[in-house]
Structure 1
Amino acid sequence: MKSHASTLLAEVRTFRQNHPDVRYVDLIALDIPGHFYGKRYPIEMLEKVAAGSPLKLPQNAVLLGVQGGLFKIGDYCFNDGDPDANRRLVPGTLKPVSWESQPLGQMLITSDGTEAPIEFEPREVLAKVLERLQHKGIHPVVAFELEFYLFDKKLDNGLPQFARDLLSDDADDQPNLHIERLSRFSEVLDDMAQTAKDQGIDITVITAEIGPGQFEINFGHLDDGMRAADWAALFCRSTRGVALKHGYRASFMAKPYLQYPGSGMHVHVSLYDGAGNNLLAAHQQQPLRHAVAGCLELLPHCMPIFSPNHNAFRRLGGTVNAATRASWGFEDRDACVRIPESDPRNLRIEHRLASADANPYLVLAAILVGLEHGLEARREPIAPLNEDRSSGSDFPLEMLDAVRAMQHHAVLRDKLGAEFVEVYCENKRQDHLAFQQEIHAREYRWFL
């Protein structure tokens, strides 16, 4: 503990030396819906925390709904006295915030690794999965890809407007994958990429996607799954901030336009043993087939994680490369689980189903549990789409059905934690019901 504290203390003191104008640091963590919560600490107090002073926040901050409200979930929130829970600083995450109007820092915090971690905290859920895999000699290598839209900063009666660049007063009319769109929005995209790099995130490829003002940014592969999920979470925060600075809104909303493709979170995962051998490539790639079968078997029961809100279910089907059935294929972007072409050393799956606004810690945890389950069960998968275009199994396409499919599933309760599954499912059910408690104008047009 002393060496850990000295490392953190050195990190804080180095930061203060390099950024003497920073007076406050945001200590942040991701809640169940995928929003950051936390506290803004004076830099002097942060140094005390790094030296060992306690850091406590309300336990139930993790349980907040999409709109920040509290739901009655078991005894949480209303019958537990709203207790504090210990958090710790995550080493290596203290970075400057460049998109605010005044100098600021930020640092990740978590209950993972404390004496009493919060069982339903997303980072803790992933930590348990990674720890179990490590004990089994399985070491994931992970890379995220995130799609997002740029909108005009001003909404039109609450509706998003197309992003406009300096060359045009009209909507972004460049074709998908057109390199000129990257040039026309280069100022904001370059700032997003550099800001992410300043946060320690390895940004690689930037692509203009199919939708107007839609882009995708890829991250480097990491042999630390937790850090890979940290990158995805932090990238969303910095990208929104940079966009506002440039007069845009950046949104990871799954389906902002019905007529254009939604935004997804694609996750590449390969598995290695302690000697660095690719486990999926052994025995003529038979473990790969088993892992795919496990992912597809659990996928219908993980839909509240992959599609965490009403809008995310709108993204599934009806547009390019968005499946409505659990499927797989080699070099096939219509599949939920795609096997990119690669040499045996880099053989991996690309899980393509999750929406861009899903919680990256939980998405990765669910994918890894699917792979783990498949390697243990050793079942053959259904036919790939390359052999049968109709191959696939159904999964829920509505939140309440999805929650019912997840809540009592034995494998998920065992491998993700029964307490987490209960809390998460009830959070999603309550959020969905709260969303329904508003009559929209279309209902009056149709039924008045």
Structure 2
Amino acid sequence: MKTPSCTLLAEVRAFRQKYPDVRYVDLIALDIPGHFYGKRYPVEMLEKVAAGSPLKLPQNAVLLGVQGGLFKIGDYCFNDGDPDANRRLVPGTLKPVSWESQPLGQMLITSDGTDAPIEFEPREVLARVLQRLQNKGIHPVVAFELEFYLFDKKLANGLPQFPRDPLSDDTDDQPNLHIERLSRFSAVLDDMAQTARDQGIDSTVITAEIGPGQFEINFGHSDDALRAADWAALFCRSTRGVALKHGYRASFMAKPYLQFPGSGMHVHVSLYDGAGNNLLAAHQQQALRHAVAGCLQLLPHCMPIFAPNHNALRRLGGTVNAATRASWGFEDRDACVRIPESDPRNLRIEHRLASADANPYLVLAAILAGLEHGLETRQEPIAPLNDDRSSGTDFPVEMLDAVRAMQPHTVVRDTLGAEFVDVYCENKRQDHLAFQQEINAREYRWFL
């Protein structure tokens, strides 16, 4: 896991030579709710870190709530003295930031691979799952797809407005899948895709989705699952920045409009052995059935990960291609777990339940834990939707119910880490309770 300082030092020096105007670099990591935190370092100090100087940030920065506040979680935050914890630079992630007004760089940092990783850091949770799979000779290949909405840059009384078509100056308020929308918004979309590539992200297909101002950008398949999750995290940051530069807001909010489809995070996963054989295709795809069964069995107990907030739970059910139960099917977009048509070499699952604002490290960790559980227990899945349209098992759609289903579950605690599960569930519980502590206009209309 550790990278020789000479390699990192060469990366920093090459960056400084290529971008001499950059004076500062943002060192960033993803917290539990999926927001970036970190520090802005002078680039000459970054060179010292790359050479081996310690890099420390508060451990509890990982525990921030959605609004940035700290919750009392066990002995963390208020009874532990708020200690620092070591981080390391993630090699290959030092890139220029093109959407800011001043020259700037950014680089990912993490506690995984340090002498004392933070057990509840999202990237570390995924790293542990991947290490366990590697020890078993299982090597995932992963690709993310992310949906998002464009809005006008200005809010109207705190509410989002449809984006304006740059050609007609009319609002893009009609839901459609028309290819012409890609042309009308090509300036901002092309900039988003190119900026992603500049960040080292293998961005590929761009699609106009059903909702007004809704789009999807896909990433290439990667045999480095940690890097695939890095791509998803970094893409959200760069996309928001590029949108603002073009006069829009980009949002990965799960359900911004009740009457239109929500935005999802679709994750494609295939599993290979050390010789490059697709494990899911083994024994006439029997392994695929076992993996699906494990995925569906853990899904109801990982809902706080797949739908991490009140709005994300609104997305589930009642609209196009959003599952209402834990289900699977071949070439069926109504299923939580879809099996796309492919040859045996590329056989994979597409996990479609997570919201676009979910934490990509944790989503992938939960999916892989389900696949691993299924391969080990070798259970048969329920009937696919292709055979029975009513097939499926219920999952919780209220946050407190979801937390209660996740926290005591033995397999989830064993595969994702008991300390992480306790911290994460309490974080979600406290965020939910904090969200409830506000009286909105509807409440006055109904009850005043």
Does TM-score exceed 0.5, indicating one fold? yes
| In 2: Cα distance, 1:266 partner to 1:73 partner | 31
Cα deviation, residue 165, structure 1: 1.8
| In 1: Cα distance, 2:318 partner to 2:437 partner | 27
Structure 2 counterpart SS, 1:430: helix
Deviation track 1:141-200 (CA, whole Å, cap 9, x = no partner) reads 000000000000000000000011222333215552211000000000000000000000
| In 1: Cα distance, 2:335 partner to 2:212 partner | 24
Structure 2 counterpart SS, 1:394: coil
| In 1: Cα distance, 2:211 partner to 2:11 partner | 41
Over aligned residues, Cα RMSD in angstroms? 0.9
Structure 2 counterpart SS, 1:326: coil
| In 1: Cα distance, 2:188 partner to 2:194 partner | 10
8 Å contact 1:300–1:396 — kept in the other structure?
yes
Deviation track 1:348-391 (CA, whole Å, cap 9, x = no partner) reads 00000000000000000000000000000100000000000000
- TM-score of the pair, normalised by structure 2: 0.99
8 Å contact 1:118–1:124 — kept in the other structure?
yes
| In 2: Cα distance, 1:336 partner to 1:14 partner | 44
CA pair 367-3 structure 1, distance change in 2 beyond 3 A? closer
8 Å contact 1:144–1:266 — kept in the other structure?
yes
Aligned length: 448
Structure 2 counterpart SS, 1:49: helix
Deviation track 1:266-310 (CA, whole Å, cap 9, x = no partner) reads 000000000000000011100000000000000000000000000
8 Å contact 1:174–1:180 — kept in the other structure?
no
| In 2: Cα distance, 1:3 partner to 1:174 partner | 50
Match of 1:201 in 2: 201
Query: Within 5 Å, which residues of 2 pair with 1:412-431?
Result: 412-431=412-431
CA pair 250-330 structure 1, distance change in 2 beyond 3 A? same
Deviation track 1:298-357 (CA, whole Å, cap 9, x = no partner) reads 000000000000000000011000011000000000000000000000000000000000
Structure 1 counterpart SS, 2:4: helix
Cα deviation, residue 2, structure 1: 9.7
Deviation track 1:373-415 (CA, whole Å, cap 9, x = no partner) reads 0000100000000000000000000000000000000001111
| In 2: Cα distance, 1:287 partner to 1:335 partner | 19
| In 2: Cα distance, 1:370 partner to 1:43 partner | 42
| In 2: Cα distance, 1:289 partner to 1:104 partner | 48
8 Å contact 2:2–2:114 — kept in the other structure?
no
Comparing 158-167 with 134-143, which one deviates more in the overlay? Answer: 158-167
8 Å contact 1:254–1:356 — kept in the other structure?
yes
Structure 1 counterpart SS, 2:429: helix
State the identity %: 91
| In 2: Cα distance, 1:71 partner to 1:280 partner | 42
| In 2: Cα distance, 1:177 partner to 1:220 partner | 22
8 Å contact 1:145–1:266 — kept in the other structure?
yes
Deviation track 1:234-280 (CA, whole Å, cap 9, x = no partner) reads 00000000000000000000000000000000000000000000000
8 Å contact 1:28–1:107 — kept in the other structure?
yes
Match of 1:18 in 2: 18
Deviation track 1:60-82 (CA, whole Å, cap 9, x = no partner) reads 00000000000000000000000
CA pair 3-88 structure 1, distance change in 2 beyond 3 A? closer
8 Å contact 1:174–1:181 — kept in the other structure?
no
CA pair 224-2 structure 1, distance change in 2 beyond 3 A? closer
8 Å contact 2:2–2:113 — kept in the other structure?
no
Structure 2 counterpart SS, 1:421: helix
Comparing 359-368 with 157-166, which one deviates more in the overlay? Answer: 157-166
Comparing 166-175 with 60-69, which one deviates more in the overlay? Answer: 166-175
| In 1: Cα distance, 2:220 partner to 2:256 partner | 27
Deviation track 1:18-74 (CA, whole Å, cap 9, x = no partner) reads 000000000000000000000000000000000000000000000000000000000
- TM-score of the pair, normalised by structure 1: 0.99
| In 1: Cα distance, 2:2 partner to 2:173 partner | 58
8 Å contact 2:90–2:107 — kept in the other structure?
yes
8 Å contact 2:174–2:211 — kept in the other structure?
no
| In 1: Cα distance, 2:275 partner to 2:52 partner | 37
| In 1: Cα distance, 2:223 partner to 2:63 partner | 30
CA pair 67-173 structure 1, distance change in 2 beyond 3 A? closer
8 Å contact 1:171–1:212 — kept in the other structure?
no
CA pair 205-3 structure 1, distance change in 2 beyond 3 A? closer
CA pair 175-257 structure 1, distance change in 2 beyond 3 A? closer
| In 1: Cα distance, 2:187 partner to 2:85 partner | 42
Structure 2 counterpart SS, 1:270: strand
Query: Within 5 Å, which residues of 2 pair with 1:386-401?
Result: 386-401=386-401
8 Å contact 2:24–2:42 — kept in the other structure?
yes
Match of 2:95 in 1: 95
8 Å contact 2:337–2:350 — kept in the other structure?
yes
| In 2: Cα distance, 1:89 partner to 1:103 partner | 20
8 Å contact 1:261–1:319 — kept in the other structure?
yes
Structure 1 counterpart SS, 2:188: helix
Match of 2:373 in 1: 373
Comparing 392-401 with 167-176, which one deviates more in the overlay? Answer: 167-176
| In 2: Cα distance, 1:23 partner to 1:308 partner | 36
8 Å contact 1:151–1:161 — kept in the other structure?
yes
| In 2: Cα distance, 1:142 partner to 1:106 partner | 24
8 Å contact 2:3–2:91 — kept in the other structure?
no
Deviation track 1:115-136 (CA, whole Å, cap 9, x = no partner) reads 0000000000000000000000
Structure 2 counterpart SS, 1:158: coil
5+ residue gaps, structure 1, are none
| In 1: Cα distance, 2:440 partner to 2:39 partner | 35
CA pair 166-335 structure 1, distance change in 2 beyond 3 A? same
8 Å contact 1:60–1:77 — kept in the other structure?
yes
| In 2: Cα distance, 1:123 partner to 1:166 partner | 39
